[in-house]
Structure formats: structure tokens, C-alpha cells
Structure 1
């Protein structure tokens, strides 16, 4: 079946007018449904072949004909972890699109935290060049971070479930060797997907094993790092500080949705929180559309999709 002869229904759960126009041009036989209104969404869900966006668990249960769920994000919501485990359903994330831009921002956060120490008169943590970074999670995002850190002169250690050699990593460790690895690092970068297996992975044991004066940077959603244990490690000055590079949706908010500056961890002096809204840039939006369209051609051809979730595997 050629792409132009493909007949399927795509339900968009978030605004994507430009993508809709491009889909209609490339797939004239496909139906694109704007599901941002409840009435249209509820009517289209049972027959939708493809869903673009993040549904609720209940909505996913009603999508009986669904064969492909694409989330334009880097992580799968906890509420959907069990719901996507059904025969005939492929689930993809846009991690390949996010990896480069998020890695660049991660390097920026590290440089900014170094500069902040200099401006406040705190003891200098030293330049990144010549230091050691430990990356926990060496998927596409972790490897993108590692590539940039090596470019500025850092030695990069990496932990992954199956510790095979990786081009961007100088030394690879298994999951049972994380404590050993972080003991050698000046920076520990968490680049894991949020799954049931990674929840609470960065706990007292890992934080206590970190080198005195080291710093933690997490690029993952909340839940992977034990925040109470991290507070204690920073308060006791065993760790120099921590950084969080998060989707804006992950930021702590007050009762009216405003930023919560009283969050016990994120309001600490040596903690830097940086939100990112990559979807606001035209280049990123175009890259996201290109990625979805490339996968749509693969879907129409019955081929394996890019960015398919390998559930529970860092």
C-alpha cells in the first residue's frame, strides 16, 4: 500500500494546524480530526487509527481501533504505562527531536552554575574541562549530552542497563555499578526516562556515594530522584548543588497555577531550576512535524516506527 493510497484517521489532541496541512498534502486519503474540542474528540476516538498528543487513560481505553500513539514529548506519563501495553499498539516519543536541544541547554545550565559560584564568591568548582561527568542513562538524550561534554574536555562515564561500549562514552558501567561510577564524578547527569523501574533510582545510596562537592543535574521528570535525600545532601554540604532542566509542565505550582517559589527543594540557594519550552521555537516545531511525517510514511508502509518506546529500558 502506497502512502498516497493510505486511508486512516489521525486524531490530534493538541493544536497542530501546520502539521495538519502537511499531512493532508502528503496523505490525501487520510482523515485528520482536530480533537481539541471535547465533542469532536469523543466522536472520533473509537475509530481513530493514529493519535497525536497525550490522551488520558480513559481516552486511550475508548480508542478501540488505535494502532499508533505518538506523544510529542520525551517521557511517557505514569498514568499511561500500563494502558499502552496492548497488542497491536505502537507508542512513540519525540525523543530524537528533543535530544540535541535539551543537551545544549544542559551544558548551558552547567556553565551557568559554575558562573553563579564565581559571582557569589563561593569556592570555585573548577572548569568543566578536565573534570569527570557521569551520565545515568545513555539513550539518545544521554549520548547527546555526553558528546557535548567530551567536546568541552570532560571525561564521560555512563551507566546503562546493558553495558556495551558506546561511542560517546569513555567508560560504561552496568546498573549495579552506579554507586561506583558516581564516586568518580564531579557532575552526575540523570537522563533516564520515567518508568516504574527508574522511579526512585537516585536514592540515598547513590547520593551518598557521590564525590564530596559534586553536583547533580537531572534532565528527567520528577520521581527518579529522591528529593528528600537530595535536600539533605545539599543542606549538609556533601553536595555542592543541583540543577533541574524540566519541561515547564513539571515545574511546581501553587493553587492558582503560578510558580511555587516555596517548594522545599527547588527554592534552596544552591539549586537551579530551568524550565524549557522548546515548542515555542519555529525550528523545533518544524523538526517535530518532520519527525511525525517521517513516521507516518513508515506507518503507512507497515515499517517499524522511529522513537518506539522500549518500555522500562533506560
Structure 2
């Protein structure tokens, strides 16, 4: 009997899509800290859908029998506490599930700014008929910071509508989805010419607070920022200053340093900011797709195959 433990957020339903697991697998879903603490020492596989800071680390047993941890997200930074990060336990993620949804979100945000959709809505709310010219996105320059799976899909869609797309990664490389992929050392040079800067990078020591006053000052005047990566990559106060000064023309933000964003936060009142609740990749049916992806990985693992989507710690 293989025991699969699923950690979900309080009030969250059980992970869908697990019906395909073999009959000899026992699945237990928990959300309360006491239940997690009791169940963890007996679990063979842990599936995490709830990334509450510190919860898993507090409950982590001294001698876990867990053979594999799976995260139902692309980013796994919340799971990399020392006891797990330094162990031999493999961690897999949900790479591929959210790529297309996030890419469509980014394309929508680009069009939102280019066609001044927020201006249309503001004028409509005032019952005002006001003709304006709007921008074309053909041949505009997009810089994607984070040229991984999600960044590659974003690049593919943006290139399809005629944009020039540069990627930033740890090292320069060739990638068919991009016009060019450059190394991290080229970031500031690229910021100065990009019309749209899209963040798809994971949160690491190198990316934490990467977009600060200096980075925003390096960006082209009138550029727009789109963050679908991780909130703490962007220093919020620095972004606000760049927006309020007029140096940046707008920002579309799906992730934030603090989530939920406080009701009295000045970002809510910025006329050139579009905000969403960490949902860029969450398409209708995404929960089932996550469960089915885990089942496929589990079946291969049971047959002795290597886990796919394994994350480097």
C-alpha cells in the first residue's frame, strides 16, 4: 500500500483528477496543521497544493519516509526549506500546465495597454464619446525575464503577433521561441530598449528584489511591466514611484510582494495598473489537469521510470 498525502488550503476542496490512481494507493487529504503533523510520518508521497509559509517546515518529521514531494505549481520556492532542500527527496512541479494560460494572459495585457482598453472603460463609465488613436504591437520589443517553459510559451505567442522577443536566462542559448536569449549580464542593456518587460522568472536569491529603483530607471521611458512570475521579484515601492513619476506607462500585475494586497494599498488606485489575484494561469479545469498530471507521473514512477518535471534544488 502506497500512501499519498495531499496538503490543501483550509476550505479548499480535494484535488480533482486523482481517480486514475491505482487501487492499491491510499489517498489522504489534510489542511489543518495537527492533521498534517500526524499524517506526514506515514506518507510515501506528498502532494502540496497549499503553500502557507512555514507550515510544512514546522510539521516536517525528523526521519521522513517520504520518497517524493510534488508541487501543484510551477514555482517551488515555498518548499525549499533546509530539511527538504538538503535531503535526497526529489521534488517535482506542475511544469507545462499553466504555460498557455499565462501566455494568453500576457498577450491580453499587451493588447490592453496598446489599445488603451482601460481608457475605453473609464470613458464608458463617464458616458463620454472620445476618439483616440492607439498603438500597434507589430514590431514592438518584448523582453521576457525568465526564458523557461512559461517564458518560452509567452515568447511564442508574442512572436506570432509580430513582436520582437528577447529572453533573459542564466546563460545565453538558442531557443526557437525567441529571437534571441541572452544571459543575465545583459539585463540592463535590454531594459533600455524594451517596450514591454515581462517577468516569468522563479523566485531565487538572484531574482529576489531584482526590479528595484535602479532597474526601473534603466527601463525605456513609456515602457510597461507585466509580472506573472513571483511578487517579491518586484520591489513594490520602487514600481509605484516609477509609475507615479510617469517614467513607466503602466503595469499588469498578477503577483505581489504581499498577497492578498491590502485594501488600502495605493496600487489599487493607480489608473495605469491592472491587477489580478494570482490567477494568470488558472483556466477552467486547471485543478483536474493538475491531478491528472500527478497521476501520470505516479504511474511511471511506480513502474520504475524517472520522474518528469523534477526540480533542481
Is TM more than 0.5 here?
yes
1:33 to 1:176, Cα distance in 2 relative to 1, 3 A = same
Match of 1:10 in 2: 4
- Work out whether residues 15 and 288 of structure 2, in 8 Å CA contact, stay in contact via their aligned partners in 1: no
The answer to whether structure 1 residue 52 and structure 2 residue 47 are counterparts is yes
Name structure 1 gaps, 5 residues minimum: 1-6, 254-259
CA distance in 2, matches of 1:291, 1:123: 46
- 1:250 aligned to 250, 254, 259, which one? 259
Match of 1:180 in 2: 189
The answer to whether structure 1 residue 167 and structure 2 residue 176 are counterparts is yes
SS at match of 2:231: coil
Task: Describe the superposition over 1:229-269 as per-residue Cα deviations: whole angstroms up to 9, x where unpaired.
Answer: 1111111111111111249x93314xxxxxx1x21334322
Match of 1:116 in 2: 117
- 1:271 aligned to 258, 269, 273, which one? 273
SS at match of 1:56: helix
Shift of 1:77: 4.3
- 1:235 aligned to 236, 241, 244, which one? 244
Question: What is the RMSD computed on CA atoms of the aligned residues?
Answer: 2.5
More displaced 10-residue stretch of structure 1: 9-18 or 273-282: 273-282
The answer to whether structure 1 residue 21 and structure 2 residue 11 are counterparts is no
1:134 to 1:29, Cα distance in 2 relative to 1, 3 A = same
Task: Describe the superposition over 1:1-42 as per-residue Cα deviations: whole angstroms up to 9, x where unpaired.
Answer: xxxxxx42100112436434322xxx2222212224556533
SS at match of 1:234: helix
Task: Describe the superposition over 1:184-212 as per-residue Cα deviations: whole angstroms up to 9, x where unpaired.
Answer: 11000000111222101122222111111
CA distance in 1, matches of 2:251, 2:200: 14
CA distance in 1, matches of 2:131, 2:83: 48
CA distance in 2, matches of 1:228, 1:17: 36
CA distance in 2, matches of 1:202, 1:272: 18
Match of 1:101 in 2: 101
Mapping for residues 288-303 of structure 1, pairs under 5 Å: 288-303=290-305
More displaced 10-residue stretch of structure 1: 205-214 or 30-39: 30-39
Say how many residue pairs are matched. Answer: 293
Shift of 1:141: 0.6
Runs of 4+ in 1 over 6 A off after TM superposition: none
Match of 1:66 in 2: 66
Mapping for residues 193-204 of structure 1, pairs under 5 Å: 193-204=202-213
CA distance in 1, matches of 2:178, 2:89: 33
Name structure 2 gaps, 5 residues minimum: 124-129
More displaced 10-residue stretch of structure 1: 233-242 or 301-310: 301-310
CA distance in 2, matches of 1:168, 1:280: 23
- Work out whether residues 61 and 83 of structure 1, in 8 Å CA contact, stay in contact via their aligned partners in 2: no
Task: Describe the superposition over 1:141-196 as per-residue Cα deviations: whole angstroms up to 9, x where unpaired.
Answer: 10110011001110001100011111111022110110111111100000011122
CA distance in 2, matches of 1:273, 1:122: 26
1:160 to 1:77, Cα distance in 2 relative to 1, 3 A = closer
More displaced 10-residue stretch of structure 1: 139-148 or 86-95: 86-95
TM-score w.r.t. length of structure 1: 0.84
SS at match of 2:293: helix
- Work out whether residues 11 and 33 of structure 1, in 8 Å CA contact, stay in contact via their aligned partners in 2: yes
